[in-house]
Amino acid sequence: MSSTEAADDDHVYLSLAEGHDDGDARWAFGTGFSDPLHGVDTAVPDAVDGSALAAVCLALGDDALVASQRLAEWCTRAPELEEEVALANIGLDLLGQARMLYARCGQVDGTDRREDAYAYFRAPADFRNVALVELPNGDFALSIARLLILSTWRLALLSRLAGTSDPVLAAIAAKAVPELTYHRQYAADWVVRLGDGTEESHRRMRAALRELAPYVEELLTATGDTVPGILAAPDTGTEAVREETLGVLRQVLAAAGLDLPERPAAPYRGRGGEHTEHLAPLLEELQSVAREHPEATW
Amino acid sequence: MSDAQIGRNGDNGTPSKGDWPLYEVFVRGKRGLNHVHVGSLHAADDTMALTHARDLYTRRNEGVSIWVVRSSHIAASTRDEKDPFFAPSADKVYRHPTFYDIPDDVPHI
């Protein structure tokens, strides 16, 4: 189909007339998957510093992998079956982002490593994720508040990286934008529901924000660590990401009858490998099977 | 019986709400003619039901449109009415318009 595709999408007759010439007998459900990197040139453009690009991919990949692992920990433990699937879906979106980012990192850092080498065979001090994502899940309110903060910041950052000069990172970021938009919406719905809910749900959400507030500044600073030379223009740089992140958080929290408490920043700097004590046990569990069976395939 | 119906206990020891109403979910596939009933779920309100439906029933790229409706809002025929409702149409083959020529470019008739 041509440029009329979007308009035709809702036209029942035309969408039927499109036919199913791909030979898939089960055309009605679950078809039409696409590779987000299809046709993207993997050569590093001359203007892009390969090692800086690798550092960006590694940091954003680590954020996604560790956040994904924490979300996976909700499996069999979520308060409702429906929420359990929702949290697992979000975790899988982030895992997908991590895989593509690690793969790009391996292409450009000169080591030619595969994604598994980054996920399973690095020590905690070699991880570059922000501390926010490695904190234990706590209760549902804390996990939801964390998801709101993370997805708001990550969306602000990746929506700008979709215009970066490395075509692969730009494609990965463009793929992530609708995913993160949904994560943010999902988390915002729940933050408002809990903040504006019962006395108990409000108390728990307020406590969660108080616990997480010290970790927000690291994200906003990490934007600068993440994107040296990639996001230079003032309207797309660190300050813009900071402004959008805090603006969206304020808007959601105001609707929930909450605010982000002023608290001193936590002393961790994940982009420099300085982590909380919570990262090592998380990685031990994440990496145990791959390390026990290093040649296994799945 | 689903976990939601029997009411699970969260890690924090508080029982989950067992009184979220049941919703029925209808999804229109990418090339589907109409919305098809795909299952049901529990949600506190319409918005949450749509969100849950997105997460539970369109994870594998199945749909382009979702409808949700409270199960209690569906009026359904009952088994008792089966004969008076449906039996009278069983022997009236002349109601099928089998004698038309259908052009080749008309799909799904």
pLDDT grade for A236, boundaries at 50, 70 and 90: low
Over the range A161-200, which residues count as b (16 or more CB within 10 Å of their CB) and which as e?
Answer: beebebbbbbbbbebbeebbebbbebbbbbbbbbbebeee
How confident is the model at residue B5, as a pLDDT?
A: 37
Distance from CA of A131 to the nearest CA of B (A): 24
| pLDDT beyond 50 at A249 | yes
Q: Inter-chain contact A86–B62, Cβ cutoff 8 Å?
A: no
Q: Pairing state of beta strands B22-29 and B36-42?
A: antiparallel
B50 interface with A at CB cutoff 8 Å: no
| pLDDT beyond 60 at A298 | yes
| pLDDT beyond 70 at A227 | no
Fold of A50-258: Ferritin (1.20.1260)
Which of A88, A93, A72 lies closest to A172, judged by CA?
A: A93
Mean local confidence (pLDDT), A95-111? 94
* Domain count for chain B: 1
Distances, alpha carbon A189 to alpha carbons A195, A255, B60, B78, in Å: 10, 10, 23, 38
Q: CA-nearest residue of chain A to B43?
A: A82
Q: Measured between alpha carbons, how far is A200 from A207 in angstroms, rounded to an integer?
A: 11
Mean local confidence (pLDDT), A52-60? 92
With beta carbons under 8 A apart, name residues in chain A contacting B64: 9-10
Q: Using one digit for the tens of pLDDT, what is the confidence trace for B87-101?
A: 887 788 777 777 778
Distances, alpha carbon A77 to alpha carbons A40, A149, A200, in Å: 40, 22, 20
CATH (domain of B11) = 3.10.20.520
CA A162 to chain centre: 14
Greater confidence (A160 vs A26) lies with A160
Domain membership flag for residue B32: yes
pLDDT grade for A97, boundaries at 50, 70 and 90: very high
With beta carbons under 8 A apart, name residues in chain B contacting A31: 30, 61
Which of A72, A82, A89 lies closest to B52, judged by CA?
A: A82
Q: Using one digit for the tens of pLDDT, what is the confidence trace for A117-161?
A: 999 999 999 999 999 999 999 999 999 999 999 999 999 999 988
Domain membership flag for residue B99: no
Greater confidence (B75 vs A1) lies with B75
Question: What domain range includes position B43?
Answer: 3-75
ipTM of model? 0.71
By Cβ distance, the residue of B31, B41, B56 closest to A28 is B31
Domain membership flag for residue B98: no
With beta carbons under 8 A apart, name residues in chain A contacting B18: none
Mean local confidence (pLDDT), A171-177? 95
Q: Residue B45 in 3-state DSSP?
A: coil
Q: Using one digit for the tens of pLDDT, what is the confidence trace for B51-102?
A: 999 999 988 777 889 999 999 999 988 888 878 888 887 788 777 777 778 8
CA A217 to chain centre: 17
Domain membership flag for residue B95: no
Q: CA-nearest residue of chain B to A78?
A: B10
